[in-house]
Structure 1
Amino acid sequence: MGLRSKLGLIFVLVSSFAILVLCVAVYTQAESSRLDRTRSFADERIQLAADAYNRDDVTVLDSRLDDPALPPQLRDAVRQGKRATFKTGSPDAKMWAAAGVKGGRILSIVQNYDTNDASMNELRRALILGGVGTVGLVALVSVVAAGSLSRRIVAVAGTARRIAGGELDASAAEAVGKGNDEVQALAEALDTMASSLRAQLEAERRFTADVAHDLRTPVTGLLTAAELLPPSRPSELVRDRAKVLRGLVEDLLEIARFDSGVEQADLEHVGLAAFVGSAVGRLRMQQSLEPDSVVVRQEGPEQTVSTDSRRVERILANLIVNGLRHGRPPIEVTVHGRTIEVVDHGPGYPEELIAEGPRRFRSGMAERGAGHGLGLTIAVGHAKVLGAELTFGAAPGGGALARLVLPATP
């Protein structure tokens, strides 16, 4: 049950209880007033009848002397020298009035007390209709009020999701509109948090770009100098580490370009299965891979897609290299429709990576090997530029599964 339904139900229940208590109180008070009027009328009649009997020895106003049906409670009160009234219970309720007269006798009057009084029936009907109408009006007002509050909270939640998705310029205060309540305070707090987060990310992006750019020139010089060293085992180690360092700097520069938001896809029409096959072939040559270390399969007919082939090849290369480095061959690449799946036979992706996606400089569990954690991050960046969906999970037969789904419309 949503907030709107809960608030509406609470308003209706509270108002219904309050209206019920009010109606019962009004009806009880009206019934009590009617009873008091009937008692007063009966008392006036018995007083007039007693005066007439004491003066003229005659009974008037349908009064009776020593009525055997007189209630015992009323008879006892009269013997104590009181003039009293008494109402018998339902059904066939009656109002009795009695008083003592000369000769020690008891004069009494009895009249029907109609429990089905027309005025009380009208009052009861009016209270029921008014109560139901009021509850309906309160329900309508509460639904409108709760709906307005719910819409504003949903707007804040939607803005929070947009911020979580990377749209840091989204404003919750604009989404909820003007106001001076807790929802407005929540929206302003969310905007403050997003602004702080945006500033931190911008500082991180600038730092990454500046560091990578400043390192590029000395690393290039280091690699050039390493190539000039005489052949030896130490020279090979220096050249190898220099190449690794250059690759890291290039990766950081690429990530910085993604963060800046300037990357755009260069679209072209390609047959996806044929392109994947040729891209894997080029990767085998570049990485000196065994022919059976990467297996390519096509399921279903060939499909032509409009995409950036360079970025698709970069994504594919990063996924395969990650599988070879952290998993076990053979790496199975399957193409069906607009979907490319890459499966290795290692321990699989960490649960944290599957749930949250790849993060920079987080290489995963120890059994997944060492690394900077940038390869999958770069793959996700290229996928976003393409408008594609890149997800990570566990393969049905064990191992890591990466699935790239290219959009039907680029």
Structure 2
Amino acid sequence: MPPAPKKRRRTPRQLLRGVRRRTRRAAGRVRRVFWRSLQLRVVTSTMVISIVVVAVLGVFLMQQIVRTTLETRESAAKSEAQADRNAVLGYLNQPAEAAKQPVESGQALQPGGSSPLSQATEALARRAGSASRYSVIIRNEGLSGEFYGTTNIDPVSIPARQRDELFKKEAGEDSTWYTPLYYKGQPDQPVPGMIIGTRLDTWGTRLDSSYEIYHLVPLDKEEKTLASVQQMIILVGAGLVLLLAAISSLVTRQVVTPVRLARQAAERLAAGRLDERLKVRGEDDLARLATSFNEMAANLALKIHQLEELSQVQRQFVSDVSHELRTPLTTVRMAADLLYDAREDFDPMAARSAELMQNQLNRFEAMLADLLEISRYDAGAADLDVDSVDVRDVVLRAVADSEALAERHSTRFDLRLPGEPCMAEMDSRRVERILRNLLFNAIEHGEGRDIVVSVAADRDAVAVAVRDHGVGLKPGEENLVFDRFWRADPSRARTIGGTGLGLAISREDAILHGGWLQAWGSHGEGSQFRLSLPRVAGAVLRGSPLPLVPPEVEMRRTWRGHMTPVLSPAVADGGRDAD
């Protein structure tokens, strides 16, 4: 047993390409689902708008709460700072004899001392309570600039830049700023805080100096409170968005469900189920819509029934007349053939009359054959005599049958046939009739210019294109040309007799083969008819080996689209110099 082939490893570029392809497919599926569901679009729009509104309101509300909280805390801290300042000033202004120990330069003020600053520090510590409320640091500018605090607060919490700003302020003027607070023993765990600094001058007293008093207020509790409020706002906002989405989904469902039922009923009605009706519930707008739909369906069913009866009568009339005309036509044909064969024995006037009668009988027989053929299609009695044939031979036979007519109109055929056989399973008689009709139509409207007949084949299909360079078709006439008795220009005199059923019968023949018969035309550029047939009878036709729009026309339009935006006025006007 030969070894199993190794699986080829994919390169990173191939993997990335595969991921992009799968992502595009997923995005395409999501996009299709989104645009096909009205309820999904309404719910999505409601959620997006709700998220934006809730986010804006949440940010605004949070800002107001933060501002109010900080303003309240700052106002209370300033009131306490003012009271502490007055208390410190009272201790520093004691009479000299009340002081048990003079203040010496460089002495640290700590609770438990007997100097005025020690007493003031002890008093501030008692007023502040725990360190979680606030701490006080006093700096004596005249005693080598040392800091003295009521708790284990670290003086590094006070930024140097703010101290410089405070030094420039007047005595008693406050300065507030927000900064992290550090505690001794915990340098890596700062807490958010607020510092209120003020200057205290004691010039003219026995302590002739200047002091800086800093109140350090920790805001960790406020931060936790604000974080809890923020989480609550987010949860409430998310719940509100989901609630609005649920409400919009419920409301939309009440509207979309009747509309969806109406759509399904309309689809079934379009499929031919004329007895389809909607249930009417209530008396609101949707109920009136259901009532109107039911009335429309009933009237439509009635009209279709009447049209079907009329169409059946018309088809039966055409079929009966066509069959009934064959018997007298056969008798007239026998008599006309005798007269036509003996025309050389008649005088010139009678001989000419015999020839005209023969020609008109041939035309009448062709018209009768078309009527019979279209009546067989209407009755569903048409069938195929399938055989494997070379499409090139069928085209050559159709061209040979059209040569005489082309010579009378000074028209030449330009055949573009492949070098190898193009075999396909088809009814050669019907396909040859299609091609004759297309060639006759091209001769009729080609205005004497060459007619190009192209044949091509691929693995699944064969195609024949008939291209003329006549007046062409107006926009929207590409489908009308296959209607029964339709003419592009009613005022145009016909040079080739017919019933006006040729292209209609050709389309029915193409459909019977499971193929396509399509038309393209542009005013002034002529027209092209393309017949596409599957190579195997009964196969599904998925494409055509020939383009519907002639390549030279497509190339010219592409060239104009690329060149027109960059042409100068002189070139665009055909080479004339622009003034």
Q: Same fold (TM over 0.5)?
A: yes
CA-to-partner distance for each residue in 1:279-335, whole Å, 9 max, x for gaps?
443x259x7765985554412421211122222112112111222233336543322
Q: 1:341 maps to what in 2?
A: 465
User: Offset of 1:377 from its aligned partner?
Assistant: 1.2
2:519 is aligned with 1:392: yes
Q: Following the alignment from structure 2 to structure 1, what is the Cα–Cα distance between the partners of residues 381 and 73? A: 92
Q: 2:369 maps to what in 1?
A: 250
Q: 1:14 maps to what in 2?
A: 49
Q: Given the superposition, is the C-alpha separation of residues 2 and 255 from structure 1 closer, same or farther in structure 2, using an over 3 Å criterion?
A: same
Which secondary structure state, in structure 2, belongs to the residue aligned with residue 305 of structure 1?
A: strand
2:534 is aligned with 1:382: no
CA RMSD of aligned residues (A): 5.6
Percent identity of the aligned residues?
A: 25
User: Offset of 1:21 from its aligned partner?
Assistant: 5.2
Q: Following the alignment from structure 2 to structure 1, what is the Cα–Cα distance between the partners of residues 402 and 32? A: 55
Larger gyration radius, structure 1 or structure 2: 2
- Cα pair 2:474 2:521 within 8 Å, conserved: no
Match of 1:310 among 420, 425, 429: 429
- Cα pair 2:438 2:503 within 8 Å, conserved: yes
Q: How does 1:10-409 map to 2 (within 5 A)?
A: 10-20=45-55, 23-24=58-59, 27=62, 68=172, 112=217, 114=219, 116-128=222-234, 131=237, 168-169=271-272, 195=301, 199=305, 202-203=308-309, 205-217=311-323, 219-220=325-326, 223-224=329-330, 226-227=332-333, 228=335, 231=350, 240-241=359-360, 243-281=362-400, 283-284=401-402, 290=407, 294=413, 296-327=415-446, 328=448, 330-337=450-457, 338-354=462-478, 356-365=480-489, 369-370=493-494, 372-394=499-521, 398-409=525-536
Q: Given the superposition, is the C-alpha separation of residues 267 and 396 from structure 1 closer, same or farther in structure 2, using an over 3 Å criterion?
A: farther
- Cα pair 1:335 1:341 within 8 Å, conserved: yes
User: Offset of 1:273 from its aligned partner?
Assistant: 1.3
Which secondary structure state, in structure 2, belongs to the residue aligned with residue 391 of structure 1?
A: strand
User: Offset of 1:386 from its aligned partner?
Assistant: 0.6
User: Offset of 1:401 from its aligned partner?
Assistant: 1.4
Q: Following the alignment from structure 1 to structure 2, what is the Cα–Cα distance between the partners of residues 352 and 197? A: 27
Q: Given the superposition, is the C-alpha separation of residues 136 and 190 from structure 1 closer, same or farther in structure 2, using an over 3 Å criterion?
A: farther
Query: Structure 1 unaligned runs (5+)?
Result: 46-57, 72-87, 96-109, 175-179
Q: Following the alignment from structure 2 to structure 1, what is the Cα–Cα distance between the partners of residues 297 and 509? A: 29
Q: Following the alignment from structure 1 to structure 2, what is the Cα–Cα distance between the partners of residues 304 and 190? A: 51
- The structure in which a higher percent of residues are helix is 1
Give 1:404's aligned amino acid.
Answer: L
Q: Given the superposition, is the C-alpha separation of residues 295 and 68 from structure 1 closer, same or farther in structure 2, using an over 3 Å criterion?
A: closer
- Cα pair 1:226 1:239 within 8 Å, conserved: no
Give 1:4's aligned amino acid.
Answer: F
User: Offset of 1:205 from its aligned partner?
Assistant: 3.6
Q: Following the alignment from structure 1 to structure 2, what is the Cα–Cα distance between the partners of residues 22 and 220? A: 88
User: Offset of 1:388 from its aligned partner?
Assistant: 0.8
Query: Structure 2 unaligned runs (5+)?
Result: 1-30, 36-40, 81-122, 130-170, 180-192, 197-214, 278-284, 340-349, 539-579
Q: Given the superposition, is the C-alpha separation of residues 40 and 399 from structure 1 closer, same or farther in structure 2, using an over 3 Å criterion?
A: closer
Give 1:359's aligned amino acid.
Answer: D
Q: Following the alignment from structure 1 to structure 2, what is the Cα–Cα distance between the partners of residues 90 and 369? A: 97
Q: 1:48 maps to what in 2?
A: none
Q: 1:53 maps to what in 2?
A: none
Q: 2:552 maps to what in 1?
A: none
User: Offset of 1:196 from its aligned partner?
Assistant: 6.6
User: Offset of 1:143 from its aligned partner?
Assistant: 10
